[in-house]
């Protein structure tokens, strides 16, 4: 249902520019690896656990590789040589390695030997991911999917408390539960181990926590007769590792943006692009839907003046996703309801932005974020703004509806706040159910004019970024007004040029799957 009559040639030009932008970065990615990519390979081969100092074994192995070996050849080749030299299977080698009775081989195995030696563990890891994907598909085929899925967050810091709040939210009507990550975890160059009960502003993303929450949501899914989807965050220095753990534990959605960590966490852009490419390949293979973070631009930039940067970034994220084999059905492109409500016709501008996203990306399950920037301690005003957001969601057929909370600017929401938010969204969904099909927007009116202006500005911006290159655009602060250096930021020391005989056996097998 096309209500804006957007110029299709302009949309196609945007996609051509975005593809060219991504293509240049992918050529760079293809020649590099990172410590987090190498650790992800180990995780998918079955390496798990920590040493007596609580250092993850995947970090130990990759750090050993960095000390006296050529990490550009890939950790897989050294691991394969270690198994060959010690005549041990992987589990026995890890026990011996942890006890100091075995070391990582000094010289790598050949590529052919590596693929042959590691095949049993590659098969085992990929089989588990496929089994989890099939189980998810079974749940969805059994219960179906709501047209607009209600998405709420839990963020206690204690995974056991998160479980209680998550199950309560599901019983109240939520379809998607996001476990907010502990503040600062994106800057840790390792993944904490085990079940955690302490976190600030959220709960640590660990494989054990993923497993515990997945089990809890499966239990409540049976009770409520709906498949409750689980979300976590794959941004940060361990982006591909979290994607690997999520694939093994059947998470359904990951926050996985190409630019977010660079702009808002000062993670080196080289590191981020390399990591996001492998993480998205894992997500594509596992059937995990990604959410992008364009909504964050509007927290630092004006939502009226910089709306085109959101659209431009959506095109870029789409292009990167395609390069990693993600289908449109797995691209939860982000946007937000963040225009200052004091601006005349702000609601119409919001409708224009949301309808435009829907029509340009019709097959993508768009993730629509609630007002936050202009929410204050006035809970009555916050409730009004969230109600307008809920109405905009229904009017523009958004797929993933992240609820706003009346206490957003006061404290981490209580169970009662979350219940009221779910009740408001469901009431408006019901009372305005057929609103979109009952209305049209006047040609030349505010909504048409606004959408076309934003699209045209996005096209011009993408053309400029193609000319200068995305690396330079990020250095110049094109997105969110934040400048980041190519040779600066966190994690640059973990980037390595690939040797001519480098091999990532997991990526090879996943790429074969999509051929």
Give the residue numbers annotated as catalytic, written as ranges. Answer: 260, 295, 367
Instruction: List residues bridging with 230 in a β-sheet.
Output: 177
Instruction: List residues bridging with 401 in a β-sheet.
Output: 150, 368
Torsional sign, CA 79, 84, 86, 87: positive
Tell me the C-alpha distance between 138 and 512, whole Å: 24
Distant-in-sequence, close-in-space partners of 443: CB < 8 Å, separation ≥ 6: 5
Q: Please state the separation of Cα 316 from the chain's center in Å.
A: 14
Work out the end-to-end distance of the chain between its first and last CA atoms, rounded to an integer number of angstroms. Answer: 33
Tell me the C-alpha distance between 172 and 142, whole Å: 20
Within 46-156, residue ranges assigned H as helices are 57-68, 75-86, 90-98, 111-143
Element (H, E) at 425: helix 415-431
Query: Please, are residues 332 and 292 in contact by the beta-carbon 8 Å criterion?
Result: yes
Query: Please, are residues 46 and 74 in contact by the beta-carbon 8 Å criterion?
Result: no
Tell me the C-alpha distance between 26 and 14, whole Å: 18
Tell me the C-alpha distance between 319 and 331, whole Å: 10
Residue 224 CB coordination number (10 Å): 16
CA distances from 401 to 26, 146, 412, 476 (A): 32, 11, 19, 33
Backbone dihedral angles phi then psi of residue 491, each to the nearest 5 degrees:
95, 0
Q: Which is it for strands 32-34 and 495-497: parallel, antiparallel or unpaired?
A: antiparallel
Query: Please, are residues 117 and 508 in contact by the beta-carbon 8 Å criterion?
Result: no
Two structure tokens written together for 269: 């852009």
Which residue shows structure tokens 């081989």?
A: 105
Helix 307-323 crosses helix 269-286 at what angle (to 10 degrees)? 60
Q: Which is it for strands 229-233 and 253-255: parallel, antiparallel or unpaired?
A: parallel
Which residue shows structure tokens 């000062």?
A: 266
Which residue shows structure tokens 């709501």?
A: 146
Tell me the C-alpha distance between 8 and 172, whole Å: 41
Comparing CA positions, the residue from 16, 10, 21, 29 lying closest to residue 478 is: 21
């Amino acid at each position: 249902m096309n209500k804006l009559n957007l110029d299709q040639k302009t949309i196609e030009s945007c996609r051509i520019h975005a593809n060219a932008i991504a293509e240049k970065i992918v050529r760079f990615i293809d020649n590099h690896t990172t410590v987090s990519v190498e650790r992800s390979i180990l995780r998918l081969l079955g390496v798990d656990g920590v040493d007596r100092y609580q250092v993850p074994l995947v970090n130990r192995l990759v750090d050993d590789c960095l000390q006296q070996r050529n990490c550009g050849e890939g950790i897989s080749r050294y691991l394969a040589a270690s198994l060959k030299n010690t005549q041990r299977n992987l589990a026995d080698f890890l026990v011996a390695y942890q006890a100091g009775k075995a070391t990582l081989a000094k010289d790598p195995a050949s590529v052919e030997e590596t693929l042959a030696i590691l095949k049993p563990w590659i098969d085992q890891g990929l089989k588990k991911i496929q089994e989890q994907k099939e189980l998810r598909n079974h749940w969805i085929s059994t219960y179906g999917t709501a047209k607009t899925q209600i998405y709420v967050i839990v963020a206690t810091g204690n995974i056991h408390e998160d479980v209680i709040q998550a199950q309560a939210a599901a019983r109240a009507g939520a379809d998607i539960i996001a476990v907010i990550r502990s503040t600062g975890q994106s800057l840790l160059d390792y993944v904490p181990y085990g079940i955690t009960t302490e976190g600030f502003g959220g709960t640590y993303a660990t494989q054990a926590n993923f497993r515990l929450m997945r089990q809890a949501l499966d239990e409540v899914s049976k009770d409520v007769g709906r498949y409750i989807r689980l979300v976590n965050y794959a941004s940060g220095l361990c982006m591909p590792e979290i994607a690997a753990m999520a694939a093994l534990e059947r998470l359904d959605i990951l926050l996985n943006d190409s630019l977010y960590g660079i702009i808002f966490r000062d993670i080196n852009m080289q590191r981020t692009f390399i990591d996001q490419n492998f993480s998205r390949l894992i997500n594509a293979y596992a059937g995990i839907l990604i959410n992008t973070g364009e909504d964050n631009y509007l927290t630092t930039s004006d939502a009226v003046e910089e709306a085109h940067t959101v659209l431009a970034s959506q095109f870029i994220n789409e292009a990167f996703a395609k390069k990693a084999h993600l289908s449109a059905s797995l691209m939860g492109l982000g946007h937000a309801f963040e225009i200052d409500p004091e601006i005349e016709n702000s609601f119409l501008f919001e409708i224009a932005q949301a309808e435009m996203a829907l029509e340009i990306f019709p097959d993508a399950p768009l993730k629509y974020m609630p007002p936050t920037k202009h929410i204050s301690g006035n809970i009555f005003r916050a409730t009004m703004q969230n109600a307008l957001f809920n109405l905009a969601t229904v009017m523009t057929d958004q797929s993933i509806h992240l609820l706003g909370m009346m206490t957003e600017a006061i404290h981490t929401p209580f169970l009662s706040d979350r219940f009221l938010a779910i009740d408001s969204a469901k009431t408006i969904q019901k009372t305005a159910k057929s609103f979109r099909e009952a209305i049209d927007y006047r040609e030349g009116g505010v909504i048409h004019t606004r959408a076309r202006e934003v699209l045209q500005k996005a096209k011009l911006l993408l053309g400029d970024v193609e000319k200068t290159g995305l690396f330079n655009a990020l250095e110049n602060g094109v997105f969110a007004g934040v400048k980041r250096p190519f040779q600066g930021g966190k994690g640059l020391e973990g980037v390595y040029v690939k040797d001519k005989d480098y091999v990532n056996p997991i990526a090879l097998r996943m790429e074969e799957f999509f051929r």
